């Protein structure tokens, strides 16, 4: 979206840290049309742009399955890590404890949370991560 500035110049709308929304986008999705992960990725892009989060401060954590592909579809400038099946919460907890200046975003599908990931999630809930 282009906007006109006070001096009449046109350019993309930027957030309060001076980044246009394109800096929060990722690659073209290869997930199924209508997949919920695509809608979630779009909302993440919107939210991070609106909040003016520096992309390099974000860790995109995932496990195995379709959900593990979705971090490629938002915030290309952020860091990304694809862990083993069901262990995204544990790995994310460790990463944030190791570097508390980072903001972590965990992506998981059905199998990674209530089934395989139950043990890791139970361990992550009492932690003080954000
Ligand atoms: S989770 Fe995987 S199989 Fe299901 S709709 Fe999304 S891309 Fe398709």
Around Cβ 103, how many Cβ atoms within 10 Å? 16
| Cα distance between residue 90 and residue 83, in whole Å | 9
pTM: 0.81
Domain hosting 96: range is 2-124
Ligand 1 contact via 66 beta carbon (within 6 Å): yes
- Identify the CA nearest to 63 among candidates 40, 42, 85, 30: 85
| Cα distance between residue 49 and residue 39, in whole Å | 16
**pLDDT tens sequence for the chain (130 residues):** 556 555 566 889 999 999 999 999 999 999 999 999 999 999 999 999 999 999 999 999 998 889 999 999 999 999 999 998 888 999 999 999 999 999 999 998 866 555 554 555 555 555 555 5
Which among 28, 34, 66, 110 is the best mutation to test ligand 1's pocket, defined by most ligand atoms within 8 Å of the CB?
Answer: 66
Residue 73 and residue 41 in contact, taking contact as beta carbons nearer than 8 Å:
yes
Residue 130 lies in a domain: no
Residue 129 lies in a domain: no
Ligand 1: centre distance to CA 66 (Å): 6
Number of domains in the chain: 1
* 6's tokens: 């006070």
- Residues 4, 8, 14, 15: is their CA dihedral positive or negative? negative
Enter the DSSP assignment of 74: B
Ligand 1: centre distance to CA 111 (Å): 12
């Amino acid at each position: 979206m282009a906007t006109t500035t006070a001096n009449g110049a046109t350019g993309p709308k930027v957030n309060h840290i001076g980044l246009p929304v394109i800096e929060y986008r990722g690659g073209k999705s290869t997930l199924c049309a209508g997949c919920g992960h695509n809608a979630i990725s779009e909302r993440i892009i919107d939210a991070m742009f609106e909040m003016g989060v520096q992309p390099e401060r974000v860790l995109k954590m995932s496990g195995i399955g379709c959900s593990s592909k979705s971090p490629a579809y938002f915030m290309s400038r952020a860091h990304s890590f694809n862990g083993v099946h069901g262990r995204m919460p544990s790995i994310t907890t460790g990463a944030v404890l190791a570097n508390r200046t980072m903001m972590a975003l965990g992506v998981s599908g059905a199998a990674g949370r209530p089934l395989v990931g139950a043990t890791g999630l139970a361990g992550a809930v009492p932690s003080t991560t954000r």
